[in-house]
A = this chain, B = another copy of it.
Amino acid sequence: MNKVDPSYQPLTTDMLAIRLGKIDALTTLLGTDTSTWTSKEVGDGNLNLVFIVQSDQGSVIVKQALPYVRLVGDSWPLPLRRSYFEYHALIRQDKRAPDTVPEVYYFDETQAIIVMEYFNSHVILRQSMMAGKTHSGLAETLGLYCARTLFRGSDLSMNTANRKADMALFANSVELCDITETLVFSDPYFNAERNHHTPQLDALVATLRSDVDLKVEAHHLKAKFCNNAETMLHGDLHTGSVMVSDTETKVIDPEFALYGPMGFDIGMLLANFWMAYFAQPGHAEAPGARVAYQEWILGVVDEIWTIFSTEFSRLWREERTGILYEKTLFEDQGHALASEQALSHRLNDIWQDTLGFAGVEIIRRTLSLAHIAENETIENDELRADCEARGLKLGRALVVNRTRMNSMASVHDLARVIAVEAKE
């Protein structure tokens, strides 16, 4: 099932127009005269080839999976099928949250190629936040995206036969799931081979790895991730999977899509904002120069959660067409308040999951294989360790105390205390 088809060939800039020049989906956008096409390989990610292909008529992104992890090389094989899962996730996300993900123009399963919309005036949000830039509409788009994709991919909304078939489809994504199961939930909690961390964190890392409550709770969250197939997740929704322009926000790269708990996507997203918050002193033009920006970040997080829960509630009231909490049993029986009671319980569950998964994400991004650019680009080890340590303290608190933190205000009060406290 994971064998590479003999006809599979990685694309090159030289051969791209020759290989794709007869495909209607491309010629419609770029014109049939392939001599006017230019292509540039821009894949800065860890896994794939990514080309921007342009002509005077238009532009597209051509993304092709490689049969191994690009970051590591062919010693770490990774199936081309991830392209299949990304394709299936993208077309579902586009229906569920229109105008937030790239439109797919063409998919070749054997070559693991997706041709999709190019966002030519957008940059990766993570880069933009390192530069201290603000973006209007960011929280609104992300909050709506989360509410709509998570609600509409679940048994709250879908025909359940279709949801079961989708769950079965994404259950085949064993290798990508394994990366999350291992790197996110297990490696950080012991001295795993692929781990690395800033040496100045040694003492704190030892403390965290001997923290029994943290480990047990992180593993309860892993069990929830592995077993609680609530909805189709993006699966890798960090600020490197978000593109922004002055006016638009887009979500990309859902190759880790799977069925899992709603709080996983939101938690990973918020965690990356919180890490960016703690990393700001590492990027400040002068001491204190990023204090206002840090507050902007917390404001975005606050708004994402508010927009998410407002939109989720609207969808609950207006689009609850699935087999769960059926309107025939609630509103139609004069029990609209029971439906509100159930909604409130479910939002509370999602909230607690969100905090827990956020904490897990912060910890793994500091102790496991894949770190974040905000921290990696801080050259001074002491300063980087200081930013990372503050993140870890919030992360630990979120995982262990997630059922006892009842509002974003209380989370952000804690974040501010951690941000200003003296180094220990």
**What residues of chain A have their CB less than 8 Å away from a CB belonging to chain B?**
154-155, 160-161, 164-165, 167-169, 171-172, 174, 177-178, 181, 186, 189-190, 209, 212-213, 215-216, 219-220, 222-223, 226-230, 323-326, 328-330, 332-333, 335, 337-338, 341-342, 345-346
Contacts and interface: CB of A to CB of B under 8 A. Distances in A.
3 interchain residue pairs of minimum CB distance: A168-B168, A212-B338, A168-B171
Nearest to A220: B345
Residue from A160, A226, A229, A345 whose CB has the most chain B CB atoms within 10 Å: A226
Given A168-B171, A172-B168, A178-B160, A328 B190 contact: yes
Number of this chain's copies in the complex:
2
Nearest to A337: B212
Given A164-B174, A165-B171, A229-B227, A325 B155 contact: no
A230 B342 CA distance: 23
Interface secondary structure of A, over-half rule? helix
Nearest to A322: B226
A341 B212 contact: yes
Given A227-B229, A230-B227, A345-B220, A171 B164 contact: yes
A20 to B, nearest CB: 33
A244 to B, nearest CB: 33
A228 B228 CA distance: 4
8 contacts: A167-B168, A168-B168, A168-B169, A190-B332, A216-B345, A220-B342, A222-B324, A223-B324
A372 B215 CA distance: 45
Contacts of A190: 328-329, 332-333
B155 A227 contact: yes
A226 B328 contact: no
A132 to B, nearest CB: 38
Given A219-B324, A220-B345, 15 more contacts: A161-B174, A164-B172, A168-B169, A186-B328, A190-B328, A213-B341, A215-B338, A216-B342, A219-B325, A220-B342, A223-B325, A223-B346, A227-B228, A228-B229, A229-B229
